[in-house]
Structure 1
Amino acid sequence: MTEKFIVGSIENCDLPALGINELNVRVDTGAKTSSLHVDQIRKIKKSGKPWVTFAIHPNIHKVDDWIHCEAPLRDIRKIKSSNGVSEERYIIRTTISLNEQVWEIDISLTDRSDMTYLMLLGREGMGNRLLVDPSKTYLLSR
């Protein structure tokens, strides 16, 4: 096992398999599942297996810039959002890169347009890799 590293409550991460770099992520130990804001989500079949296609604009300051992605559908789960409402969400598995380390995480795809950050990194995605200092932000960018 690699040594745990300290992150702040907000960091930058990459989702290399999706072609997304320098994405601001809210690190949230109160959330079980990681989530990603996406638009235009569609369930499709590819080689007879369920996949999802979706679009994301990873730079909140350039909303006209879109990245179109597709990934195998891992699961459909009922997830309770921060406002207490449960909804069924598509779950994908992809790679995350933080602090020059890369590992796989499950991410729920949802509408986070009313949230400040496009991505939330929950406990399952952190695994036993991170320690969170909630009083700091962007510790890995220094």
Structure 2
Amino acid sequence: MPAVPRILIFLAALLTAGCAHFQNGPTNDNIEVLKAQLAHQQSQIASQQALLNAMLGEQSTATRQQQRGFANLQDQMERLRSVTNRHLASRNTTDDGDACPILSTRLSGSREQCSGLTRIGSVEVVRLLPPDHFFEARVDTGANTSSLDARHIKVFERDGDDYVRFTLAGEHFANGESIEMERPVSRFVQIIQASSEQNDRRPVIELQYRIGPVERVAEFTLNNRERLTYPALIGRNILKDLFRVDVSTRFILSDRDRAKQNSVSNGDEE
């Protein structure tokens, strides 16, 4: 047989085999490989989705913890500021280092020793922040800690610290509306009642106060003073090294009408 017809026959055989291959389509092995790859990709997608959900959950938890941390930091800063102010208020202001008497006398030596202190009457108006309001207060040199009239006193716990919720009665405000407040508890004091064998455990809080030109932070015991004449009491923790008391007069540093005001702006002067 001539060479050219043999070549033509060989080419025809190759073409026939190629057509048969394309007609049969992909083999079963190729389909299984594709299925395995698809299953692997689906598994990877599921793993990545689970990882993403876990990361979102951790981020949400971290955000809540951060918010609680900020709240705790604010409380700590407030307490640190209160301690610093109280320390400044309690420093001895005399040159010789002796404690200056709180109660003013007619003795010239005592007047010289207390010349650097602010003269205060037996009753004054004290401005408390919060609630940014004026209260009439009796000045009592025999009381260790100042006191504020509070009703519906309830102690509770927040983030491991003691807090107190109380109400300032509406009778102290011109509009007659009571005010509810919450403050961290600085400490507790035990009061022995003369008419009872039981002790009265009272919470003590820190408040910013202003009397005349003096503005500090001091502790106030919360107590129901409904039956007493004045809603607030100024004790030795405020008077010491800051004021000398003139028991013969009242309202030396303040105007009695201020106690009847509902609120004032921060720019007001005493």
User: TM-score with structure 2 length normalisation?
Assistant: 0.47
Find out whether 1:104 has 2:217 as its counterpart: yes
8 A Cα contact 2:135 2:172, kept in partner: no
Give the equivalent residue in structure 1 for 2:205: 92
SS at structure 2 position matched to 1:54: strand
Answer whether contact 1:8 1:27 (CA < 8 A) is retained: yes
Stretch of structure 1 that moved more, 96-105 or 53-62: 53-62
Whichever residue aligns with residue 120 of structure 2, its letter is V
Query: After superposition, what is the alpha-carbon deviation per residue over 1:23-75, rounded to whole angstroms, capped at 9, x for unaligned?
Result: 10101101111111101111122333211111113754758321221110111
| Structure 2 unaligned residues grouped into runs of 5+ | 1-92, 95-115, 256-270
Cα distance, 1:87 vs structure 2: 1.8
Where does residue 7 of structure 1 map in the other structure? 120
Return the alpha-carbon distance in structure 2 between the equivalents of residues 27 and 114 of structure 1: 17
Alignment map for 1:27-106 (pairs within 5 Å): 27-57=139-169, 59-60=171-172, 62=174, 64-80=176-192, 86-106=199-219
2:232 & 2:157 partners in 1: Cα distance? 26
The percentage of aligned residue pairs carrying the same residue is 26
TM-score (norm 1): 0.86
What do residues 71-127 of structure 1 show as CA deviations (whole Å, max 9, x unaligned)? Answer: 10111111246x676521111111111113211211111111111001111112222
> What's the counterpart of residue 139 of structure 1?
252
User: How many equivalent residue pairs?
Assistant: 140
Runs of 4+ off more than 6 Å: none
Higher strand share: 1
In the alignment, structure 1 segments of 5+ residues that lack a partner are none
The one-letter amino acid paired with 1:43 is V
Shift of 1:141: 2.5
**Structure showing greater relative contact order (alpha-carbon pairs closer than 8 Å, 6 or more residues apart):** 1
Is the CA contact (8 Å cut-off) linking 2:137 and 2:231 kept in structure 1? yes
Q: Secondary structure at the match of 1:29?
A: coil
Larger radius of gyration: 2
Which residue of 2 is the match for residue 123 of structure 1?
236
Q: Is the 8 A contact 1:20 1:58 kept in 2?
A: no
**C-alpha distance 61-126 of structure 1, shift in aligned 2 (>3 A):** same
Amino acid at match of 1:132: V
Matched with 2:80 is none
CA RMSD, aligned part only? 2.3
2:170 and 2:237 map into 1 onto residues whose CA distance is 22
